[in-house]
Amino acid sequence: MKQTSFIAILLTILMLLLVMIAAVVFLVQRNQELTQMVEIQSSDQETMVEMSEDMATDLAVRQAALESAEATREALAGQITVDQERIQELKEELSQTESSLSQAESEIQDLAIQLFIFSPKDGAVVPPLEPVELFVAARSDAGIETIEITIDGEILVRYPSEGQPTSTIRTEWAPPEGEYLIEAVARDGDGRLSEPESVTIRAAFSTPAARTSALLRLTENEVIALRFPEPLETMVQPEVVEVNPDDLHQLLLTGRGVEESPFSDDDVLVLQALDLLPADTDTDDLINPAYDGTTLVYYDPDAEELTFYEPGDQPETFGRWVHIHDFTHQVLNETFQLDALEISSLDRDARSAVRALLEGEATYLQYLYAKGDYLEAEQQSEIFEGLSAAASNTMDDLPPYLQDEFAFAYSDGLLFVQSLHEQDGYSALNEAWLKLPESTEQILHPDRYRAGDRPLPVTIDPLGEDFENWRLVGEDVLGEYQLRQHLQALGLATNQIDQAATGWGGGRYVVYQNENNGDLILQLRLAWDTPEDSSEFAATYGTLLSQRYDGQGVALPGGDLCWEGEDATCLLTPAGDILIVRGPDLETVNAIVANQ
């Protein structure tokens, strides 16, 4: 019994223990559930806060949009009011215009012939040199036969209208600077004239700069119309070799660009060997504004006068006239693509010929413009007064040879261009740019250019091995013009120079210098058009050498002659050519001759 009670108690205790365990488990689970619920509620609360903030932002945006829409509505309402007022104004203006037209039509019907100038308005100020529209209308029951417009009494246009009852005329006129009276009159089919109608206008520039620009444009247009009266056919050009336009002047004159010195020490030695520069000349003596375009040249073929001048700031007519020269360069460069010329590859004589064509044409257009109908008499006087005022003596610092070399392109170049133009017009000049002159002989004798007389190739054998201490200083083509300068330097009279040099067919010079003592060797070889030309030159040059050496030359086997003094010169005639060899002594010259 006691055992049974114990078991019962034990079971009761176990049951209580199980109940307690179950209660603990239940409490733990409940605690976890509560914790999860708290976390969920916390997350929901954060979400609600974010949604609340988003709703507040959206509400603010909507409020701003509402305010903007309200402002736009108010602005549109204001604009509608303005537009309605403007529409009303336009209606009133239209009504007034219709009334005026009706009144004008009534007045026209009451008159036999009526004339109106609609444009320009009386008192108008217009830009000079720009087109102004002239609009005139006339009416007559008998029909309008003519309408005439005059400017300061000079007839601008007389328009036949074929008898229509109402006729209008529209034309353009570009007034120079000044004030003008424009008048119009009409004649009807019954021979009756209208009362003249007139307006006064003034053509004035807004600023001095506008005035200068407009006058230059006018001059440029006149020059283009003068030089190219007919459009050129499209030309196929060679591949362009880029040349800085600023280099063109000096490239043609010296073969070097503006970034280089126009002369080297060797250039000076060559010119000294050719008797074109004094022995004490150095490169610094040859620097001059002539080479950078500061000093210009004008040759007047009528007066046969050559003027060196530096334009500077001169009166406007003279300034416009000077501008023609550079503008012509620009037009010729663009039209005939002078940049395509490989100038540095041309020989000296060919460069001089091309330069003569370029400067000659620019100077010729200046001449034609000054002598033509483009200027009033007082403006023409202003040009030549300006030329006199701008005359420069800066070229006096250069040796005579270089003065002549510089001026050759302007004077002889102009005469060459003038000869082509007077014979075949501007088409001949266009052809000259497509088939460039190749020698100064062609410039001096335009008929030689027309005949296609090309310079003959001339070569000079190099010095032999015995001349190892001699270095080559320079060699190039000796053209007819430079030959003439050489003869002039030796003292030959002008008429004799022309006789001796005419007939030149080709030429070349070579100059060497002894590296030990600075002595020079000069070799000239000249080809001639005919044996008679060669013989004539040989006789003339022989006389010059006899004067130079104060004695007759010594004959060599074969009839050639040599002279000796402070230096020595031999005159030879190989194969019909002329070969001139000058050296420090006769032994040196004979050694060169033996090598030919």
Q: What ranges do the domains of the chain cover?
A: 52-102, 113-203, 245-402, 465-594
Alpha-carbon distances, residue 516 vs 467, 471, 519 (angstroms): 12, 10, 8
Q: Report the predicted TM-score, pTM, of the whole model to 2 decimal places.
A: 0.71
pLDDT in tens, 213-223: 888 888 888 99
pLDDT in tens, 341-367: 777 788 999 999 999 999 999 999 999
pLDDT in tens, 462-474: 998 889 999 999 9
pLDDT in tens, 381-432: 988 888 888 887 767 777 888 889 888 999 999 999 999 999 999 999 999 9
- Give the closest residue to 366 by CA, choosing from 378, 376, 375: 375
Q: List the structure tokens of 276.
A: 């074109």
- Give the closest residue to 157 by CA, choosing from 179, 177, 125, 133: 133
DSSP secondary structure, 334-376, as one string? HHHTGGGS-GGGS-HHHHHHHHHHHHHHHHHHHHHHHHSSSS-
Q: Are 186 and 113 in contact (CB under 8 A)?
A: yes
Q: Which residues contact 195 (CB under 8 A, 6 or more apart)?
A: 115
**Mean pLDDT score, 193-216:** 89
Alpha-helix runs per DSSP H in 286-347 = 316-336
Q: Is the pLDDT of residue 518 over 90?
A: yes
- Give the closest residue to 399 by CA, choosing from 284, 295, 265: 284
Distance CA 319, CA 241 (A): 32
Q: What is the CATH number of domain 113-203?
A: 2.60.40.10
Q: What is the CATH number of domain 465-594?
A: 3.40.1000
